[in-house]
Amino acid sequence: MMEDKHGLSITDRDRVMRAWQNSMEAVRDFETFSSEVDDDKLSDVFAGFAEDECVHAARFLEILHDFEKKGVK
């Protein structure tokens, strides 16, 4: 745990929660971009990025569940 510049404690769980939320947002964005672009190749690229980011989000969620099992707040 470390303190930020405002003197607030930021835990590992806090960082993982933020990373999970960011990953979920990236998935939504890439999925949206995939359906909004006209170019099929570009659409496939965005769809692939969404799938890749889903893997990251799922891993972060596993870690958050591990924290919950351990009672980490």
pLDDT grade for 72, boundaries at 50, 70 and 90: confident
Condensed to tens digits (0 to 9), the pLDDT of residues 14-68 reads 999 999 999 999 999 999 999 999 999 999 999 999 999 999 999 999 999 999 9
pLDDT at 2: 73
pLDDT at 51: 98
Structural domain boundaries of the chain? 25-73
Q: Tell me: pLDDT of 7 over 90.
A: no
Q: What is the DSSP string of the chain?
A: -EE-TTS-EE-HHHHHHHHHHHHHHHHHHHHHHHHH-S-HHHHHHHHHHHHHHHHHHHHHHHHHHHHHHHT--
Q: Tell me: pLDDT of 3 over 80.
A: no
